[in-house]
Copies of this chain bind each other. A is one copy, B any other.
């Protein structure tokens, strides 16, 4: 209230859906984004500044290319170009939504291990809050897939809010998102 003239800077970690098709936001990161708008930002668009971080996992994003043959440096270049395009397409979704609602935002892409990169970007950018979606997996599933959200809650240098995907929104294989 008093003295809060600077907008609250919220970093939102976003990723692509693991379900095939053209890159869409994952179910859990879209749920986290929608929750944040309706429950925190509400009608106070000017009070918040959103920072969208998309971390691309080089291996995972190249998975479709398993059977491809790389014969020249240009092939790698093309692959990198394609990754970049997919990442930009993902960020565009969020930036467009913010633009429509007149919420100030920034968005950028990094490469690496999402949990490590998110925490190091928090250190660098120093947001007031980090919002991360979560698939809400059970303990058994978590053993095998690890969860970015748990790591961030423990290690990020700012308050973290984890939004669980609703049970009804989970795809057939709950590890998908």
Contact = CB atoms under 8 A, between A and B. Distances in A.
Interface of A: 1-4, 8, 35, 37-45, 47, 101, 128-129, 153, 159-164
Nearest to A164: B159
A129 B42 CA distance: 14
Closest 8 CB pairs between A and B?
A: A44-B44, A42-B47, A161-B161, A8-B39, A4-B38, A39-B128, A4-B42, A159-B163
Given A44-B47, A129-B161, A153-B162, 9 more contacts: A4-B38, A4-B43, A8-B39, A40-B40, A40-B129, A42-B44, A43-B47, A159-B163, A160-B162
A93 B1 CA distance: 17
A8 B39 CA distance: 6
Contacts of A41: 1
Nearest to A40: B40
A114 B3 CA distance: 33
A109 B168 CA distance: 34
Contacts of A164: 159
Given A101-B1, A153-B153, A40 B162 contact: no
Total identical chains: 2
A1 to B, nearest CB: 5
Contacts of A101: 1
B39 A1 contact: no
Contact of A37 (B1, B35, B42): B1
Contact of A39 (B2, B39, B129, B153): B129
A167 B165 CA distance: 33
Contacts of A44: 42-44, 47
A39 B127 CA distance: 11
Nearest to A34: B1
